[in-house]
Amino acid sequence: MEARILVVDDELSMREFLSILLECEGYHAVVAASAAEALTELDRGDFDLVISDVQMPGLNGIDLLSRVKAQSPETAVLMMTAFSAAEQAVEAMRLGAYDYIGKPFKNDEIKLLVRNALEKSSLKRENRMLRQVVEQRDSFCGIVGNSPQMKEIFSLIQKVAPSPTSVLIQGESGTGKELVARAIHSNSPRAAKPFVAVNCGAIPETLIESELFGHEKGAFTGAVADRAGLFEQADGGTLFLDEIGELPSAMQTKLLRVLQEKEFRRVGGTQVQKCDARILTASNRDLQGQVRDGAFREDLYYRINVVQICIPPLRERVEDIPALIECCCRKYAQPGRLPAVAPDAMKILLNYTYPGNIRELENIVERSLIMNPDCIESANLPSLSGQAPMGLQAGSIHIPSEGIRLENMLEELEKGYLFKALEMTGGAKKKAADLLGMSFRSFRYRLAKFGVDDGEE
């Protein structure tokens, strides 16, 4: 495809000369007698190169250069003038001009400059297109991954998003279940409506019904006004029930009724409310196992599990780790800085097993960049190479001849992980529970065994 070049000069003879010269070289030339006329042409279509005089009535060439670079940064701009002015040349180059040529100039000189400028413009466009391809390849709606497992998930999201089908998202804590739910919502006809997310394990049992369905004034002590629940807030949109396996049995029954009847009542109310929210659910537990154990209603399980999306843990998609590290670096880097990753640090990060999955990787990168904003170094990855929470292989286990007290050993191991998780999250119990893949209630209960206050954070 022939390059499009815009020639801007208030002198007719110069416009005609450059137009003929460029056409003879195989380019498509468009001429403009002023900067204002040039801006009109730029609005009509893209140009690979703009050749503009500096001295023109009205807007001068420097003003035009600024407008061109703001509107189309990849378009190369070549400035020309009959006046040898060093200050103008410096200003033009500072504002992004490819080069600066004085009149009169030789034909071979302008031809060479045009050819080089077009090559640079073409390279910029190719780089932009390549970045777009890489971004599309390695991410989807903020979910980063180029592994076969993640590509399959991206495909499944696109298939289920347009329908009102219930989707159950399974995966360990920290794998990005809410991101998948948001991607389904964003690609659905409900995208312009609310996306409401709630962690069922983080709400006290006494408040779950009110939180989901709302309440009327005076329904219970402290209900001083009517309050809409999450189902009403998500009306027309999507309600995401995270860690649905944490719902108490009584609430499972009420939720099933809402899903079947598409209606509910506020706590303390008599008026029936219609429910028009798509329900997406997630769990880091084995819900099928809970059904077998009688801890989760079988009919509710089949109601929410029309389509299931299983997100693999990070240790099973190691090829995604470099892209995730880069994404985290961009998120936590100081403005204008993209940190490097030392080769030995990358080796450690690739070999670590990430019990907390992507959430843990993000914490590791953030902490490392606090220590050194320019580079992730092995010195700032505390003991990762020595930790192997998922790596206890039978061949590496040693039992002394006198035997061991397994219960005591497991208790100490549990205590160590609980306190390590609290250390990593700065004492935030909810985040520590997420890091260990357990509910907030279960985390507090286990802490209480070791004499730690189990009150709210």
Look at residue 139 in the predicted model and tell me its pLDDT.
53
Look at residue 201 in the predicted model and tell me its pLDDT.
86
Query: What share of the chain in percent tops pLDDT 70?
Result: 88
Domain end: 284, 312, 340, which one?
312
Same domain, 171 and 307: yes
Mean pLDDT of 242-258: 92
pLDDT at 394 over 50: no
Of 181-195, 196-210, 237-251, 402-416, the poorest mean pLDDT is in 402-416
Domain assignment present for 455: yes
Pair type for strands 272-274 and 263-265 = antiparallel
At 33 the three-state DSSP class reads coil
Same domain, 337 and 440: no
Domain assignment present for 347: yes
Residue located via tokens 């040693």: 398
Domain assignment present for 393: no
What digits encode the pLDDT tens for the residues 157-183? 999 999 999 999 999 989 999 999 999
Same domain, 298 and 175: yes
pLDDT at 405 over 50: yes
Domain end: 261, 295, 312, which one?
312
Same domain, 355 and 254: no
CA distance 338 to 388: 30
Instruction: Quickly state the pLDDT bin for 388 (edges 50, 70, 90).
Output: very low
CA distance to 90, 140, 208, 340, per residue, from 332 (Å): 35, 20, 35, 13
Same domain, 77 and 21: yes
Domain assignment present for 149: no
- Here the CATH number for the domain that contains residue 454 is 1.10.10.60
Domain assignment present for 179: yes
Domain assignment present for 398: no
Mean pLDDT of 81-98: 75
- Here the CATH number for the domain that contains residue 331 is 1.10.8.60
Of 41-45, 124-128, 214-218, 249-253, the poorest mean pLDDT is in 124-128
Look at residue 429 in the predicted model and tell me its pLDDT.
85
Of 145-154, 192-201, 330-339, the poorest mean pLDDT is in 330-339
Q: What is the DSSP string of 206-219?
A: HHHHHHHHEE-TTS
Non-local (6+) Cβ contacts of 388 within 8 A are: 353
Indicate the DSSP class of residue 236: T
| Number of structural domains found in the chain | 4
Same domain, 380 and 325: yes
Look at residue 455 in the predicted model and tell me its pLDDT.
54
- Here the CATH number for the domain that contains residue 112 is 3.40.50.2300
Same domain, 51 and 124: yes
CA distance 267 to 221: 12
Residue located via tokens 């807007």: 59
Same domain, 356 and 426: no
Same domain, 178 and 295: yes
Domain end: 340, 357, 388, which one?
388
Domain assignment present for 147: no
pLDDT at 448 over 90: no
Non-local (6+) Cβ contacts of 180 within 8 A are: 143, 153, 157, 169, 282, 309, 311
Of 86-90, 250-254, 266-270, 372-376, the poorest mean pLDDT is in 86-90
- Here the CATH number for the domain that contains residue 188 is 3.40.50.300
Q: To the nearest whole number, what is the mean pLDDT of the chain?
A: 85
CA distance 202 to 434: 11
Is pTM beyond 0.75? Reply is no
Same domain, 329 and 305: no
What digits encode the pLDDT tens for the residues 298-327? 999 999 999 999 999 999 999 999 989 988
Structure tokens that stand for 339 in this block: 């940190």
Same domain, 253 and 368: no
**What amino acid occupies position 75?**
T
Domain assignment present for 399: no
Q: Write out the residue range of the structural domain in which residue 240 sits.
A: 160-312
Same domain, 329 and 304: no
Instruction: Quickly state the pLDDT bin for 390 (edges 50, 70, 90).
Output: very low
What digits encode the pLDDT tens for the residues 113-160? 999 899 888 777 766 655 544 444 445 667 888 888 999 999 999 999
